[in-house]
Amino acid sequence: MAVTDRPGIRPGDTPTPTDLGPRSQGPSAQEIIAGDRVPPPSTLLIESQLDLGTDDIPVERYTSRAFHDLEVDRMWKRVWQVAAREDDLPRVGDTVVYDLADMSFLLVRSAPDTIRAFYNACLHRGTQLRDRSGYAPELRCPFHGWTWNLDGTIKSVPCHWDFAHLDQAGFNLPEAKAATWGGWVFVNPDPDAISLSDYLGSFPEHFVWDTARRYKSLHVSKLLRVNWKACLEAFMESYHVIATHPQILTYLGDANTQYDVFPGTGPGRPGWNRMNTLSGVSSPHLGYTPSEEDILAAQLASYGQDPIPVPPGETARRVLAEATRQVYTPKPASIPGDELSDSEAIDNILYYVFPNFQPWGGVSPINYRFRPNGNDPDSCVMDVMFLSDYAGDDKPPSAKVTQLGFDDDWTEVEALGTLAMVFNQDTGNLPRVQRGLHATRKRGVSLGRYQESRIRQIHHELDYWINRPPAEKE
């Protein structure tokens, strides 16, 4: 039985590009970018909209334990998902524990060029082999000492004479699929899954920044009292800026944001999406147009910097981009082309890969990951990871994870700087969102046709997975 049925859209259908109609008043993102001194990579000049319908999203998707269980069984156990950075496992023997719902995977660098993802459970009586990341010369169960080599082959069984009835040669650790892209390690529990390359589709062609050339300079993992999808969706549109971040309206073109939704190439190959919210321009919501000097001064003040003049005939956007370009001189190795473009330097370019990965484009170091907190549909884990460029040939070590509990404040992480306040504003709404979803008498969540089109794509893809029969193969 289908869990949801949307008129005109069948799960697994590949939508075709379309025009979704009206946009905000004022210049479009493309019209603003056309005035930049240094144009962006060609991928940022492309627009793509899909008509995914206008039906409400069922509230039960955010509140129901039964839907959560279905989501885990039908989706999470069959999709590629980010589990770590390659640099989290620099040496043979380094391990990373990746947990989601009732699943636990043990990522192991078993050879200089090989990362494996084992199911994190002893084959004797099921004990979790490791409960934290770190170095291990072998994989040894802490309960009875059963031990495996780093490649997952059985190494030793204490009192092996008492297990003569078992085929110990067949007691190698079961594996999930593991693959890498852009320095990220992905896992997929489905042994019959398509390759990561096929799954990502056209995304790598459009995400032109070489994140493999960066290192993880910060990793904050925070527990939040909200469903993982509601948390993810809070970072997928700029529609919330007018109410949640009013202090940045002077220098952020929130309602001029460009939203692009790209279709997948067939069943099991999800599409991806992105948005570009421009800086150095004011919001149409202000009702007036600040001077270029006021726009630039407001944005510099948000960074704790003093104002600088805007020369005659110039714009705040171009002056800000040029100042940022000077900061990133010489051009970072991860940035394509001969020169850092205005948009890459100052804009908010945020991509999304189903189900839970959000990397920023341009010079921004920010990357997000979202997942359920165990089997609780009312809470989640949000990871914020900074990927930073570095000089020379020696890559700095990957940052350790800083854990924040439900009631810990983002400002406790000093390295977040002014972003901590922005994250507090964003995530401060979310417990109220979850409580409201439980309290509402409305059966569905209503989305804007354009500004929230990226959110609708999540549910279009989710429709495919939850309605796909468990035994179906690609």
pLDDT for res 202: 96
The pair of three-digit structure tokens given for residue 178, joined into one six-digit string = 């593991």
Longest Cα separation, the chain = 87
Cα–Cα dist 252/242, whole Å: 10
Computed on alpha carbons and rounded to an integer, the radius of gyration of the chain in Å comes to: 24
Q: What is the CATH number of domain 81-188?
A: 2.102.10.10
pTM of structure: 0.93
Do residues 275 and 258 touch, judged by C-beta distance below 8 A? yes
Stretch 308-331: mean pLDDT, rounded? Answer: 96
* Residue 3's pLDDT band (cuts 50, 70, 90): very low
- Architecture of the 29-78+210-467 domain: Alpha-Beta Complex (3.90)
* Residue 8's pLDDT band (cuts 50, 70, 90): very low
* Residue 15's pLDDT band (cuts 50, 70, 90): low
Q: Do domains 29-78+210-467 and 81-188 have the same CATH topology?
A: no
Instruction: Give yes or no for residue 12 having a pLDDT over 70.
Output: no
Stretch 400-420: mean pLDDT, rounded? Answer: 97
Identify which of 429, 454, 459, 457 has the alpha carbon closest to the alpha carbon of residue 444: 459
Candidate from 239-248, 341-350, 370-379 with smallest mean pLDDT: 239-248
Cα–Cα dist 236/455, whole Å: 7
Do residues 176 and 105 touch, judged by C-beta distance below 8 A? yes
* Residue 117's pLDDT band (cuts 50, 70, 90): very high
- Structure-derived torsion over alpha carbons of residues 411, 412, 414, 418, reported in degrees to the nearest 10: -10
pLDDT tens sequence across 64-110: 999 999 999 999 999 999 999 999 999 999 999 999 999 999 999 99
Q: What residue ranges do the domains of the chain occupy?
A: 29-78+210-467, 81-188
Cα–Cα dist 255/452, whole Å: 12
